[in-house]
Amino acid sequence: MAFPENRMRRLRRTEALRSLVRETSLDPGDLIYPLFICPGEGIRREISSMPGVFNLSVDQLLVEAEESAALGLGGLLLFGLPASKDEHATGAYDEHGIVQQALRALKQSAASKKLVLIADVCLCEYTSHGHCGIVVEYPDGFEVENDPSLDLLARTALSLAKAGADIVAPSDMMDGRVAAIREALDDEGCENTPILSYASKFASAFYGPFREAADSAPQFGDRRSYQMDGANLREALREIDLDLQEGADMILMKPAMPYLDVVRAARDNFDVPIGAYQVSGEYSMLQAAFQRGWLDRDRAILESLLGIRRAGADFAVTYFAKDAAKLLG
Ligand SMILES: [Zn+2]
């Protein structure tokens, strides 16, 4: 049937009609809110390149958690800024590390009953050199060593699970880390803790503002020897397949906006829960446009997140989580 019998505009005439035929939903429960925890008390330090995002001490984190629960968010993703760093990232797997303290405090709160607490598992925030694994120097340069890093990542995941993480989320991109973490969790009675693997994490310019937020910029070199090349879609599917074989329960794609085709391909190929991370650069460039009055803030926030859902992600990690939930209210 063609025009004039067929008129696509018939179903767009009223909001009620549009609502009835809407294909993709966006709910506060689909949103995960990333937070950066620092030592101290009463601290709420805004990140200059990410307006509205803060380094929070544990007491302030509890305030955010309460608000996030009241807004119906799906959960929190926790990153830590340790008091000190060293070459072996000891702060990452210290029983009294910053995220471990935060998790114990959160577990005492009513908010934690309504939120999924996800702990990022990586070493870069805790290493003096800022890389995601153990670094060894050779005469002709340095190497981020894969296998020696696995043990530390597994220890970190186990320590976070024991402190109360509902999910552990390895983001380092070392080969074999999901299997190493699964084994460590299972050996120590944490067989019910799921792994959300950052299975396809691309080396991206859009992570720039995060490195200020998490104080995790590499002191030398870059992360291209372990994060993926932005040109590679087939390789992303192999990464996901391998992580699932190693025992990942769900996968996270990062960044979101420049890689929505990869999210779609993952959705079409794997029947597991998929999340996509609207990363710091995506957030900051939208914020910059809002500050200049170049974009309609409310509509752009929701459209950017709807795009992630429509590409096939079940949930989105986003610094706009609270703003979006209020708009969806
Ligand atoms: Zn890292």
196 C-alpha to ligand 1 centroid (Å)? 15
123 C-alpha to ligand 1 centroid (Å)? 6
125 C-alpha to ligand 1 centroid (Å)? 7
**Residues 112-121: tens digit of each pLDDT:** 999 999 999 9
72 C-alpha to ligand 1 centroid (Å)? 29
**In whole angstroms, what is the distance from residue 64 CA to residue 33 CA?**
10
List phi, psi (to 5°) of 76. -120, 145
Consecutive H or E run containing 111: none
List, as ranges, residues with CB under 5 A of the ion ligand 1: 122, 124, 132
Active site residue 254: yes
pLDDT for the residue numbered 216:
87
Write out the DSSP string of 119-132: EEE-STTTBTT--S
**Residues 88-104: tens digit of each pLDDT:** 999 999 999 999 999 99
Active site residue 85: no
Nearest to 240 by CA among 157, 76, 311, 249: 249
pLDDT by residue, tens only, the chain of 329 residues: 999 999 999 999 999 999 999 999 999 999 999 999 999 999 999 999 999 999 999 999 999 999 999 999 999 999 999 999 999 999 999 999 999 999 999 999 999 999 999 999 999 999 999 999 999 999 989 999 999 999 999 999 999 999 999 999 999 999 999 999 999 999 999 999 999 999 999 999 999 999 888 888 898 889 999 999 999 999 999 999 999 999 999 999 999 999 999 999 999 999 999 999 999 999 999 999 999 999 999 999 999 999 999 999 999 999 999 999 999 98
pLDDT for the residue numbered 213:
86
Q: Is residue 98 a contact partner of residue 82, using CB atoms and an 8 Å limit?
A: yes
13 C-alpha to ligand 1 centroid (Å)? 48
pLDDT for the residue numbered 215:
87
Active-site residue (options: 85, 114, 201, 322): 201
CA angle 278, 284, 279 (to 5 degrees): 20
**In whole angstroms, what is the distance from residue 36 CA to residue 117 CA?**
13
294 C-alpha to ligand 1 centroid (Å)? 33
Active-site residue (options: 114, 254, 322, 326): 254
Tokens matching residue 321 = 């989580």
Q: Is residue 150 a contact partner of residue 122, using CB atoms and an 8 Å limit?
A: no
Query: How many C-beta neighbours within 10 Å does residue 245 have?
Result: 10
% pLDDT > 90, the chain? 96
pLDDT for the residue numbered 214:
87
**Residues 280-325: tens digit of each pLDDT:** 999 999 999 999 999 999 999 999 999 999 999 999 999 999 999 9
pLDDT for the residue numbered 130:
93
130 C-alpha to ligand 1 centroid (Å)? 8
